[in-house]
Structures are given as C-alpha cells and as structure tokens.
A and B are shown apart, each in its own frame.
Chain A
Amino acid sequence: MQHFWDQPLSWGTAGIFAAAAIGVLAFVIFFVTYAIYFERKFIGWMQYRQGPNRTGPLGLLQSVADVAKLLFKEDTIPKKADRGLFILAPVLAFVPSFAVLAFIPYSLNLQFADLNVGFLYYIALSGITTIAIVVAGWASNNKYSLLGGMRSAAQMISYEVPLVMSVVGVVMMSGSLNLRDIVIAQEGYFWHWNFLPQILGFGIFLIAAVSELNRTPFDLPEAESELVAGYHVEYSGFRFAFFMLTEYIYVYAIASLTTILFLGGWNPPIPQLDFIPGVLWFFLKFAVIVFCLFWIRATFPRLRVDQLMGLAWKVLLPLAILNIFLTALGIELIG
C-alpha cells in the first residue's frame, strides 16, 4: 500500500484507494456484525442462556437480520429536534471511527497508511466522535439524551488524558509514534512485548480504553437503568445503527491498538512460531482483547459519574505520570 501513497494521484491510484477503503469497510462491517453476535452469544453463555439461536444456523444471521430491520425502519426525527444537527450527528460519529482504522498495521506489510504520528492520529480523530455524541444529545431535545451527552463529553475528555499518558511509556521505549515501528521494537520472545515492562501503563490503558468505549463498567452515557438509553434515546432506524456501528468500530480500533502497543502486534510469542502468518497472530491477540471486553461487560456493575471522574483524575492520571517517570528511569539505568 505504501508505494501508492508515494505516487502522484491519478485515476488508477485513486481507484485503488477507493477499492481498499471499500474492502476495509466491508471487513469492518463483517467484524461488527459478528462481534455483536459473539458478544450476545458469550454473554448468553455466561448467564445460563443460549444467546441468539433462531435466525440462521446457530443464530449466525441474527445480526444481519437486526441490521436489515434497522435499515428498513421508518426514519423518525422528533418534531422539536434540531433537524440539521440531528441528521449530522450519526455521520459525524461514524466517519472518524472509520478513518482511524486506516493506520492499523495488521502485519509487517499489510497497512493502509503508514503514519509517523500514528497514535496521535487516533486520539485526534476519536475526539471528534465525542463531539458527535454531545451533538446527538443536544439535538434530540430530550432531557435524558442531554444528560447522556453531557456525561459522555465529561467522561471522554477525562479518560483521553490517562489514555494518552499511559502510552507515553511505550513511545519512549520504542522511540517512535509510528505503530509499525512500535511493533518492530517488540520483536523477540513474548517477554519483549510491552505489556510486561509497561505493566502499569498496560493496566491504565485498558481501564481508560474501556471507558473510552463507553462500555460497562463505564457505560454511563447510555446507562440504561438511569438514562434509559442516554444520548441516542431518540434515534432509531439506520441513524441508531450508525451509533452502534461507531461503538463497535471503536471496539475494533481499541482492541487493535492494545494488540499493537502492548501485545507485540503481529509477532508470535516465541520466534520459532513465525511460520504462522503474522496476521493470524494479530487477530488471535485481537480476539482475546475483544473477548475480555465482553467478559467485563457480563461481570461488572456500573460506576457513578463522580466516581468515574475521580478515578480518571485522581488515580489513573497520577499513575500514568508515575509510569512515565519509571520508564524514563528504567531506560536511563538499564538502557
């Protein structure tokens, strides 16, 4: 992919970019469809239930049917909603979520855009989704969604700080923000992966990431038991589908990022296993992270807003800064 970027833009290269983008989109939508299926299935098993098992063999078509239903649903916009913003919000949420996927390196050569600012690009774009959620909450002209939107803004701003800070350690160790270089720096046995030397950063990253995703135990913006559905309470049909899609694409993005930053990306746990293609290793680790996210959802109760803020600012942020300090110390002493 990289050498196409270096060529001048012509119809040919533009076509290739478009084809690649459609390919990624198709893959991501496939992922989202089955991530939802497996989430429901896993959580079902954890709760003595079957999960979806009626639509298609083993319920495999359940999510497809759900999406089809959402697409064919009547498009309703509340009368008192701010029409323009109401329509804009799902798009504004979805576009950056999809754009962040461009820079993920699945293996040494399979990457759509090799960005030197790598991780910063993710942070910059995912911030836009926060705006979309606030916009959605505001434009719906519903008190529940307003509260949900406000919570979401507060939460995402709070958790982006420890999220970025926790990665600084990794960046210091590999000397680059470029995700490809970060993975290359982790080559070797699994104890060369960042999650062991950066165990503190790894923990902070995971907690902050779950919060970024608005998933249990940090699912306050859409806290069902208090705010009914939070910011998307007035949305239905395909607009609602876009919000769901966004949410799961971020699951995809965060799971990929965790794999890359802390679990050695496409590297096998021991170099002797490198006859198995890197992409498979990548997706194996990726699947473990996604499973953990589902697992957490089935296990934990939800935090309260003030506790959530307290955790971000009073616990995670100081720890992240401590982690930076320790990493610097480690690099200085051990080299």
Chain B
Amino acid sequence: MIRTEELLLNVGPQHPSTHGVFRIVVKLDGEVITEATPVMGYLHRGTEKLAENLNFTQIIPYTDRMDYVSAMTNNYVLCHAVEKMMELEIPERAEFMRLIVMEMQRVASHLVWWGTYLLDIGAMSPFLYAFSDRERILSLFNELCGARLTYNYMRVGGVKWDAPEGWIAKVKVLVKDMYNRLDEYHNLVSGNEIFLSRIKGIGQYDAKTAIDYGLSGANLRSTGVKWDLRKDEPYSLYDRFQFDVPVGKNGDCFDRYECRMEEIVQSLRILEQALEQFPGEGDTMGKVPRVIRPPAGEIYVRIESPRGEIGCHIVSKGKAEPFRLKFRRPSFVNLQILPKLLVGESMTNLVTILGGIDIVLGEVDC
C-alpha cells in the first residue's frame, strides 16, 4: 500500500536563498508546491515609529538601513520629501552629485541582484565577478563619504560632502569599464542554455496582474508596462538626460533579467551624460534653516529605486520631528505576488521566482 502525504516544508529564515531572513512555509506534493505562506518581520526594526522621535537629519541614517543595497535612493526619497514640503532650492552641483551617486547605486544594486540571482540558480562565479565590480563603486562611495554601505550622504538641502579631487574622473573610468564588463557578463551568462531554460517562462504574470498587485520596477516593466518614475514623473535632474526605459513582453523571470541588465546600461548612459555636464563649481548645500521644521501638512513623494517605486509619506505638524512617517517600500509590495506565483511550481522554481522578484529584507521588514 502506498500512502502519499503532503510535506510541510519550512524554508527560512535561515536558508541560503531567501536573501536574508525571509521565511516561507510551503506545502509540497512531491516537489510541487501546493501552497505557500510567506512569513516576514524577522528584520523589523520599527523605523517608522522610531522616526517619530527623531528630527529629519537624524532619520537619514535609518533610511540607509532599509534597503541597504541601495541606500542612496532611500536617502534621496526622504530628503526630497522634506525639501518639497519646505520648498527649498537645491544647488545644481548638489543635485548633480545626488543623481550621480543614485545612478551608481542603481548599477551597484543591480550587480548584487545579478550575482545573487545566478548564485540562486547555481552558478557561483558571477557572484564574485559582480561583487568585484560593485566593490569599485563602493570604494568610490567610500572616498566620497567614508562609508561603504550605509552612507548617510544626503542632507535636506543638498549633500554632506563634495566630490573630492579627481573623483569625477574616476567615475568616468568606471563607467567606461562597466560597459566592457557587462559584455563579458552577457557572454558568460546571458546566452547559457542551462540558464535560459531555468528562467524562461518561469513565474509569468501579465500586466493587469502586476498592476493589481501594485508591482513596480523591473517586476512591472517585464510585463510590458512602460512605467519609470524617472521618465514619467521626473524628479531631480532626470528630465535633462536621454535614456530609455527597457520593457519586457512576457513578464517571466527571463524578461525581468533582461530588463535589469538593460537598466544597468541605461544607468551608465545617464551617468555618462551627467558626468559630462557636471558643473565645475558651486555649493553642495542649499540655504537651509538650522532646524528643519517642515510646515504643517502632508506630502507623498515617490522615486524610482532599483527595486521599484519607493515612496515617502510625511505628516508634519510643523515640528522638527515628523508626526508620522511612512515609507512605501517596493520590496515589500513586490513580494505580495509571491504566494500566487509559487502554486504549482517546483521547489527549484521557488528559488528562481523569489530571486527574480529581487527583494531586500531590510526593506521588506523595514
């Protein structure tokens, strides 16, 4: 007599492929998932609540620790929200610095994604290649602000540090090298038959589903929706530069891969132009009152982080601390589609799909 049983498998929080402390409880029939329940919150630090007792300059380091792979964009969204509330003027040089570091950060963040995704799929080397390139970007950040991961670089009204001498030239060299490196990566990975067969047609959803779930970033663009806040609601100086918004067609893991790889190229394009137009001199800090007190009211701003739309909602009562601060974290929102995608897939595809969504647990749990 053969009796079959469902297998309840607990994946995470300590599991090599959950990108941190994400946990997902799956019901397996053989190796096929019949039900998946994500459990999150292992990295919850209560950033939003903590922020209510801090002034805005003090909150900036907390945003670093949300999406720690892309701290610069997090810095920016908070500063941008406050600046918009207070209607501050930002010096051009400061805005350029912000844009350059944000785009460098996007490249670095996508490299981390690329490396870890390949690691999830079983290829070890790309991880180290990606990290060696990211290392160069981090070293440049280190030169700029003395930190490699949590920069605390931007301030309300500008940036804390000006570019040191020769820094811009170094970034130029980096951008040039990155094109070559990307070619190498495509040669090594993108055409690999095994890799393609692992990601093509996996974790597919259509544009309507993606919008219903509120997905953003490459997760949305892979379905063919051309939505990039840098283009559609230009902030910073993005309206000055030429770049394309890569979109996919099928909304599967392969299209997400293609989108992200192409986004690196577009970021490099933006960087090239920005470095060319970088103003020779100017202030890096605008005229900002000593104590930052946004006027009473509410504001919601959103920008395009490497993972999607990151938003910041501030409710101010005219004090130095926010009354309420809320972040819309793209990783958290994008993750909601996971249980739906996993049903009927195998254990192997769990890793492929989860990796394809590109989450950062610091941001999911915030």
For chain A, which range describes its interface: under 10, 10 to 19, 20 to 34, or 35 or more residues? 20 to 34
Could you say which residues of chain A place their CB within 8 Å of the CB of B348?
220, 223, 226, 304-305
A146 to B347, CA, bound (A): 13
Q: Which of A144-186 contact B (CB under 8 A)?
A: 144, 146-147
A300 to B194, CA, bound (A): 8
Q: Is A69 an interface residue (CB 8 A)?
A: no
Q: Are B128 and A302 in contact (CB under 8 A)?
A: no
A6 to B128, CA, bound (A): 56
Contact with B along A219-252 (1 / 0, CB 8 A): 1100111111000000000000000000000000
Q: Are A223 and B124 in contact (CB under 8 A)?
A: no
Q: Is A70 an interface residue (CB 8 A)?
A: no
> What is the distance, in angstroms, from A217's C-beta to the closest C-beta of chain B?
6
Q: Which of B238-289 contact A (CB under 8 A)?
A: none
| Given A48-B129, A48-B132, A143-B7, also A302-B346 (CB < 8 A) | no
A226 to B349, CA, bound (A): 9
Which one of B9, B119, B197, B346 contacts A225 once the chains associate, using CB atoms below 8 Å?
Answer: B119
Q: Which of B114-159 contact A (CB under 8 A)?
A: 118-125, 128-129, 132
Q: Is A46 an interface residue (CB 8 A)?
A: yes
A146 to B17, CA, bound (A): 19
Could you say which residues of chain B place their CB within 8 Å of the CB of A298?
124-125
| Given A226-B350, A228-B15, A305-B348, also A299-B198 (CB < 8 A) | no
| Given A217-B194, A225-B16, A301-B118, also A147-B31 (CB < 8 A) | yes
Q: Residue on A with the closest CB to B195?
A: A301
A300 to B348, CA, bound (A): 16
Q: Are A223 and B346 in contact (CB under 8 A)?
A: no
User: Can you identify 9 A-B contacts, CB atoms within 8 angstroms?
Assistant: A47-B125, A47-B129, A48-B129, A48-B132, A216-B122, A220-B348, A225-B351, A301-B192, A302-B194
Q: Are A227 and B347 in contact (CB under 8 A)?
A: yes
Most buried by A among B31, B125, B188: B125
A227 to B28, CA, bound (A): 13
Residues of B whose CB lies within 8 Å of any CB of A are 7, 9, 15-17, 28, 31, 118-125, 128-129, 132, 188-189, 192, 194-195, 197-198, 346-351
Could you say which residues of chain B place their CB within 8 Å of the CB of A146?
7
Could you say which residues of chain B place their CB within 8 Å of the CB of A206?
none
> What is the distance, in angstroms, from B112's C-beta to the closest C-beta of chain A?
16
Q: Are A224 and B194 in contact (CB under 8 A)?
A: no
| Given A225-B122, A228-B15, A304-B348, also A48-B128 (CB < 8 A) | yes
A216 to B124, CA, bound (A): 10
> What is the distance, in angstroms, from A45's C-beta to the closest C-beta of chain B?
11
A48 to B133, CA, bound (A): 11
A300 to B123, CA, bound (A): 5
Which one of A43, A224, A301 contacts B198 once the chains associate, using CB atoms below 8 Å?
Answer: A301
CB < 8 Å A-B pair total: 84
A227 to B347, CA, bound (A): 9
A220 to B125, CA, bound (A): 18
Q: Residue on A with the closest CB to B7?
A: A143
Q: Residue on A with the closest CB to B197?
A: A307
Q: Are A47 and B128 in contact (CB under 8 A)?
A: yes
Q: Are A219 and B129 in contact (CB under 8 A)?
A: no
Which one of A49, A297, A301, A304 contacts B128 once the chains associate, using CB atoms below 8 Å?
Answer: A49
Q: Is A321 an interface residue (CB 8 A)?
A: no
A300 to B195, CA, bound (A): 8
Could you say which residues of chain A place their CB within 8 Å of the CB of B7?
143, 146
Could you say which residues of chain A place their CB within 8 Å of the CB of B123?
216, 299-302
A144 to B188, CA, bound (A): 31
| Given A48-B132, A304-B198, also A228-B16 (CB < 8 A) | yes
Could you say which residues of chain B place their CB within 8 Å of the CB of A95?
none
> What is the distance, in angstroms, from A203's C-beta to the closest C-beta of chain B?
15
Could you say which residues of chain A place their CB within 8 Å of the CB of B122?
216-217, 219, 223-225, 300-302
Q: Is A303 an interface residue (CB 8 A)?
A: yes
A300 to B198, CA, bound (A): 12
Which one of B129, B188, B194, B351 contacts A226 once the chains associate, using CB atoms below 8 Å?
Answer: B351
Could you say which residues of chain B place their CB within 8 Å of the CB of A144?
9
Q: Are B125 and A304 in contact (CB under 8 A)?
A: no
> What is the distance, in angstroms, from B319's C-beta to the closest C-beta of chain A?
48
Q: Is A306 an interface residue (CB 8 A)?
A: yes
A43 to B128, CA, bound (A): 11
Could you say which residues of chain B place their CB within 8 Å of the CB of A305?
31, 346, 348
A179 to B231, CA, bound (A): 68
Could you say which residues of chain B place their CB within 8 Å of the CB of A299?
123, 125, 188
Could you say which residues of chain A place their CB within 8 Å of the CB of B189?
301
* Other A-B pairs, 6, CB within 8 Å; known A224-B122, A301-B123, A302-B122: A146-B7, A227-B347, A228-B16, A301-B121, A305-B348, A307-B198
A297 to B349, CA, bound (A): 21
Q: Are B120 and A225 in contact (CB under 8 A)?
A: yes
Q: Residue on B with the closest CB to A304?
A: B348
Q: Which of A106-156 contact B (CB under 8 A)?
A: 143-144, 146-147
Q: Are A302 and B31 in contact (CB under 8 A)?
A: no
A135 to B126, CA, bound (A): 34
> What is the distance, in angstroms, from B104's C-beta to the closest C-beta of chain A?
21
A49 to B198, CA, bound (A): 28
> What is the distance, in angstroms, from A154's C-beta to the closest C-beta of chain B?
10
Q: Residue on A with the closest CB to B120?
A: A225
A143 to B349, CA, bound (A): 17
Q: Residue on A with the closest CB to B121?
A: A301
Q: Which 6 A-B pairs have the closest CB atoms?
A: A302-B122, A301-B123, A47-B128, A225-B17, A301-B121, A301-B122
Could you say which residues of chain A place their CB within 8 Å of the CB of B128?
47-49
Which one of B15, B124, B350 contacts A43 once the chains associate, using CB atoms below 8 Å?
Answer: B124
A298 to B188, CA, bound (A): 11
Could you say which residues of chain A place their CB within 8 Å of the CB of B194?
217, 300-303, 307
> What is the distance, in angstroms, from A153's C-beta to the closest C-beta of chain B?
13
A139 to B220, CA, bound (A): 45
Could you say which residues of chain B place their CB within 8 Å of the CB of A49?
128
Could you say which residues of chain B place their CB within 8 Å of the CB of A43?
124-125
